[in-house]
Amino acid sequence: MSAPTLSEPSRQQFPDALGRYGAFGGRFVPETLMDALNRLTQEYAQVKDDPEFQARLNYYLTQYVGRPSPLYHAERLSQHAGGAKIYLKREDLNHTGAHKINNAIGQVMLAQRMGKTRVIAETGAGQHGVATATACALFGLECTVYMGEEDIRRQKLNVFNMRTLGAIVVPVTTGSRTLRDATNEAMRDWMGSSNQTHYTIGSVVGPHPFPMMVRDFQSVIGREAKEQSLAQYGRLPDAVVACVGGGSNAAGIFFPFIDDSEVELIGAEAGGRGPSTGEHASSLSQGRPGVLHGSFSYVLQDDDGQTQDVHSISAGLDYPGVGPEHSFWKECGRVRYESITDAEALEAYGILARKEGILPALESSHAVAQAIKEAPRLGRDRVLVICLSGRGDKDAFEVARLRGEPM
């Protein structure tokens, strides 16, 4: 572990007071939301260093979520890939089946502390929606989840579960009827409701302080992975791979390693049907810096500044923007971002199932596919950690449909 030196300042110091990560981040939102964001920033600054809040959060993460999640040596997958020893950080084993619960518990606790009675959320794959509905049931808050109609179709199981957990699921029928439109609707709700409502953003996107706050709540993934690496094989991994839509599981596992320059960090974006088709969601690989959903970051926009329609097999990655800190990490060269196509992700989904008996979420399958590409290059003495951000039960219907197989 190399400590940051004077010549090389820590990259963990960001964001600054305006919520900037280098040139990225900030707040590009209507004035109506500014007071709510300022209050949230102040409240979060208090709980961040409040041992009582952190102890309570830790209690729920341990006793309710089931943390720490294992760091599992996937020997048969490693053999298949033919190179580095591959370890899986098993966020799929968390309660509700994905990393999203780490952030949802933290933010809903914060909402309760601020005296809010209602929580709203946007969701793509439905994992963040389920996690927020779960946390609201746990702490006794009202919950409304905005979800695009197209995502409701392909993620039925999560919709059913959210409603069972007591949440109201509002179908969003505007635009592409996916995560981006759900985010618009959640922001519109918050414009008129911020007095009694907290908006639990599910990724490291949106105006400051959301990207910082979500990253911090998700950083438990990277902190554990670091400790587990030292305990299990006596050193840090050589590479860490995570999928990137908005980028919350990636930010969570990358951030604690950011100043460890010997650890290679690789993000796998949704390549959809391939970069040349224009039907993808690779904001960092194919986009350019611009403004979307309250933040300055890489975005897929046309020459007029209109957000482009994107495509991914995975509802959770089907988003035209990305968290501003990822844009910063890309620009300073700390993280390498690659694209994985729908077909590659589907193949990796099958490989992990057959080689390890683990059904990954389609989102996480992008990270698995990227790792299979990286492993031979790294070689047998090296260790590669995949953030297995979620489990694949929710995707069974969609995978069957895509393969043309009956359920």
Partner 1 sequence: MNRIDALFSRLKSEGRRALMPFITAGDPNLPTTAALITELVRRGAHMIEIGIPYSDPIADGPVIAASYHRALERGVKLAHIFQTIRTLRAETATEPLSVVPLVAMVSYAIIHRQEADRFLREAVTAGFDGLIVPDLPVEEAESLMRKATALDLRLIQLITPTTPPDRALRIARSTTGFLYYVSVAGITGERQSLPAELAQNVAWLRTQTDLPICIGFGISRPEHVRQLAPVADGLIVGSALVRRLSNGDKVSRNEMIQDIGQFIAELASSLDPINTHG
Q: Which of residues 303-342 bind partner 1 (CB under 8 A)?
A: 303-307
Q: If binding is defined by CB under 8 A, does position 292 make contact with partner 1?
A: yes
Q: If binding is defined by CB under 8 A, does position 115 make contact with partner 1?
A: no
Q: If binding is defined by CB under 8 A, does position 194 make contact with partner 1?
A: yes
Q: If binding is defined by CB under 8 A, does position 29 make contact with partner 1?
A: yes
Q: If binding is defined by CB under 8 A, does position 52 make contact with partner 1?
A: no
Chain centre distance of CA 37: 21
Q: If binding is defined by CB under 8 A, does position 23 make contact with partner 1?
A: no
Of the pair 19, 129, the CB lying nearest partner 1 is at 19
Q: If binding is defined by CB under 8 A, does position 32 make contact with partner 1?
A: yes
Choose, by CB under 8 A, the member of 11, 128, 215, 293 that binds partner 1: 293
Choose one: 6-14, 47-55, 138-146, 294-302; the region binding partner 1 (CB under 8 A): 294-302
302 burial via Cβ count (<10 Å: 0-12, 13-18, 19+)? exposed
| Marked catalytic residue, from 282, 314, 339, 389 | 389
Q: If binding is defined by CB under 8 A, does position 18 make contact with partner 1?
A: yes
Token pair of 116 as six digits: 């809010």
Tell how strand 168-172 and strand 142-148 pair up: parallel
Q: If binding is defined by CB under 8 A, does position 58 make contact with partner 1?
A: no
> What distance in Å separates the CA atoms of residue 137 and residue 203, rounded to the nearest whole number?
21
> What distance in Å separates the CA atoms of residue 46 and residue 52, rounded to the nearest whole number?
11
Q: If binding is defined by CB under 8 A, does position 42 make contact with partner 1?
A: no
**Binding-site residue total for partner 1 (CB under 8 A)?**
34
Q: What is the DSSP-derived secondary structure letter of residue 116?
A: -
Helix axes 396-403, 342-356, angle to 10 degrees: 110
Active site residue 48: no
Burial 346-376 (b: 16+ CB within 10 A, else e): bbbbebbeebbebbbbbbbbbbbbbbbbbbe
Q: If binding is defined by CB under 8 A, does position 30 make contact with partner 1?
A: yes
Choose one: 60-68, 88-96, 109-117, 192-200; the region binding partner 1 (CB under 8 A): 192-200
Choose one: 47-55, 250-258, 293-301, 342-350; the region binding partner 1 (CB under 8 A): 293-301
Of the pair 33, 136, the CB lying nearest partner 1 is at 33
Main-chain dihedrals φ then ψ at residue 260, nearest 5 degrees: -95, 85
Q: If binding is defined by CB under 8 A, does position 3 make contact with partner 1?
A: no
Active site residue 389: yes
Choose, by CB under 8 A, the member of 1, 9, 23, 34 that binds partner 1: 34
2 burial via Cβ count (<10 Å: 0-12, 13-18, 19+)? exposed
Choose one: 6-14, 34-42, 77-85, 142-150; the region binding partner 1 (CB under 8 A): 34-42
Q: How far is the CB of 258 from partner 1 (least distance, A)?
A: 26
User: Phi-psi bin for 16: left (phi > 0), alpha (psi -120 to 50), beta?
Assistant: beta
Q: If binding is defined by CB under 8 A, does position 116 make contact with partner 1?
A: no
Q: If binding is defined by CB under 8 A, does position 195 make contact with partner 1?
A: yes
Token pair of 29 as six digits: 């939102």
The structure tokens 């509905």 sit at 133
Choose one: 144-152, 179-187, 345-353, 357-365; the region binding partner 1 (CB under 8 A): 179-187
Q: If binding is defined by CB under 8 A, does position 375 make contact with partner 1?
A: no
Q: How far is the CB of 296 from partner 1 (least distance, A)?
A: 8
* Bridge partners of residue 148, in order along the sequence: 172
Of the pair 30, 82, the CB lying nearest partner 1 is at 30
28 burial via Cβ count (<10 Å: 0-12, 13-18, 19+)? middle
> What distance in Å separates the CA atoms of residue 316 and residue 29, rounded to the nearest whole number?
23
- Least Cα distance to 183 among 217, 211, 206, 162 occurs for 206
| Marked catalytic residue, from 91, 122, 356, 363 | 122
Choose one: 77-85, 104-112, 143-151, 300-308; the region binding partner 1 (CB under 8 A): 300-308
Helix axes 210-218, 31-48, angle to 10 degrees: 30
> What distance in Å separates the CA atoms of residue 161 and residue 245, rounded to the nearest whole number?
23
Dihedral of alpha carbons 139, 126, 210, 258, sign = positive
Q: If binding is defined by CB under 8 A, does position 35 make contact with partner 1?
A: yes
Catalogue the active-site residues.
100, 122, 389
- Residues of this chain that interact with partner 1 (CB under 8 A) are 18, 26-36, 174-175, 180, 184, 187-188, 191-192, 194-195, 290-294, 296, 301, 303-307
